[in-house]
């Protein structure tokens, strides 16, 4: 039987372009001043002044990604400049047309996704150094908290590199019955997931809860969102409104790779989990989607480990699952501290000041940037991950 080639995809580490040709200065100037323009409620006025620029002078993948990143940040700021109080129905032609053109070339939806604001939104101040040398390209209001959120998310993804690189080794070991190499590769995966959790802890160095909640607002989707029930009209591109999910960790190619590798299936019994996660692959870079699909169509690691009856493999497999469940539990803790609790305080303050809570503020605090009831979603996928552990009974009954 023919087997598909499984090789690890490239990550955002290659997207380091920081400048576009001078022709695109109107985009870059607005994107660079986004926090100031949003805070002064001037962004929509500046976008109205933007000329309709051609995309023909963009050269290569990196410039396309940078242009898309700038236009994506401007789009999210334009839509959510007033929070949930002053939503818009139309994205102006000068923004919508080039944004959709570039997005089509990159096979991504015209909304800011995780691969944009995390994998492509960074630079080095100079060629040397690492963490202390990183900075972001674009941001929303919130100062260093925004920077911390994006860079810590990037470092979490970078920590997974060894685990992703181990996946082709695992597939090859299954195909050739290489038990020793498989166990070693599984140990690499477990270690890399543990390093992801350690990198996640850096969020406490950067974040202030109130600012993280503000960032959460600017990442909100216009799909399944009653504040924009019809979606958004992209003027000059589509006559009817379109709906797209906002960027979220559910769009992390890394996490979905590990789910597929370990055979973790988020069933329809949990409501939206399975369908939503499947849909999130459409918001990943094309190469990442292809890698996940190739992995999903390959041999089952879980079934192979069970079939061997090998205690070492069982333990190594369960360490991977346990590490992934711990990472997801930590994600829930972070979301509670930096989003849920501040959102509750915001509602309480509004009640004290005006006697009522604006419906827009309430819904933005309860739903994830991807449009889900995010705490229920995070707990559902964490619980499913825990259940993927191989039980003692399974481990003592080899499959045939």
Known binding residues for heme b: 331
Q: For 15-50, give the DSSP string.
A: -------GGGHHHHHHHHTHHHHHHTT-HHHHHHH-
Gap between the Cα atoms of 391 and 164, Å rounded: 25
How many other C-beta atoms can be found within 10 angstroms of the C-beta atom of residue 221?
25
Gap between the Cα atoms of 359 and 363, Å rounded: 6
How many Cα atoms occupy the beta-carbon half-sphere of 46 within 13 Å?
Answer: 22
Q: Are 234 and 91 in contact (CB under 8 A)?
A: yes
**Residue ranges of the binding site:** 331
Q: Are 185 and 169 in contact (CB under 8 A)?
A: yes
Strands 90-91 and 233-234: parallel
68: three-class secondary structure by DSSP:
helix
134: three-class secondary structure by DSSP:
strand
- Separation in Å, CA 57 to CA 20, 29, 30, 53: 9, 17, 19, 10
Which residues on neighbouring strands pair with residue 242, listed in sequence order?
232
How many other C-beta atoms can be found within 10 angstroms of the C-beta atom of residue 159?
20
């Amino acid at each position: 039987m023919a087997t598909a080639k499984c090789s690890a995809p490239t990550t955002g580490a290659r997207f380091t372009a920081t400048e576009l040709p001078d022709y695109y200065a109107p985009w870059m100037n607005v994107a660079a001043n986004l926090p100031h323009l949003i805070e002064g409620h001037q962004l929509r006025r500046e976008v109205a002044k933007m000329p309709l620029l051609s995309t023909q002078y963009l050269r290569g993948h990196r410039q396309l990604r940078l242009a898309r990143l700038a236009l994506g940040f401007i789009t999210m700021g334009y839509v959510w400049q007033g929070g949930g109080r002053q939503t818009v129905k139309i994205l102006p032609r000068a923004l919508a047309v080039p944004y959709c053109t570039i997005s089509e070339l990159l096979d991504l939806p015209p909304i800011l996704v995780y691969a944009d604001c995390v994998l492509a939104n960074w630079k080095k101040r100079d060629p040397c150094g690492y963490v202390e040398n990183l900075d972001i390209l674009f941001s929303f209001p919130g100062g260093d908290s925004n920077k911390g959120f994006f860079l810590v998310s990037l470092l979490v993804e970078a920590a997974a590199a060894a685990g992703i690189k181990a996946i082709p080794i695992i597939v090859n070991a299954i195909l050739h019955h290489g038990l020793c190499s498989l166990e070693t590769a599984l140990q690499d995966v477990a270690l890399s997931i543990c390093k992801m959790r350690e990198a996640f802890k850096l969020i406490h160095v950067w974040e202030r809860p109130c600012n993280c909640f503000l960032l959460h607002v600017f990442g909100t989707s216009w799909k399944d969102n009653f504040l924009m029930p019809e979606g958004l009209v992209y003027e000059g591109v589509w006559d009817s409104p379109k709906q797209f999910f906002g960027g979220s960790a559910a769009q992390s190619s890394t996490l979905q790779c590990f789910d597929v590798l370990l055979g973790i299936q988020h069933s329809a019994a949990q409501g939206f989990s399975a369908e939503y996660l499947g849909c999130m692959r459409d918001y990943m870079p094309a190469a990442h989607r292809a890698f996940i699909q190739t992995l999903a169509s390959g041999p089952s690691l879980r079934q192979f480990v069970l079939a061997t009856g090998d205690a070492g493999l069982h333990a190594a497999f369960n360490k991977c699952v346990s590490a992934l469940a711990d990472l997801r539990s930590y994600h829930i803790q972070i979301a509670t501290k930096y989003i849920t609790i501040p959102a509750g305080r915001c509602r309480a303050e509004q009640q004290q000041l005006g006697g009522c809570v604006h419906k827009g503020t309430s819904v933005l605090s309860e739903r994830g940037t991807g449009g889900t009831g995010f705490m229920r979603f995070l707990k559902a996928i964490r619980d499913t991950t825990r259940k993927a552990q191989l039980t003692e009974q399974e481990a003592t009954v080899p499959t045939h």
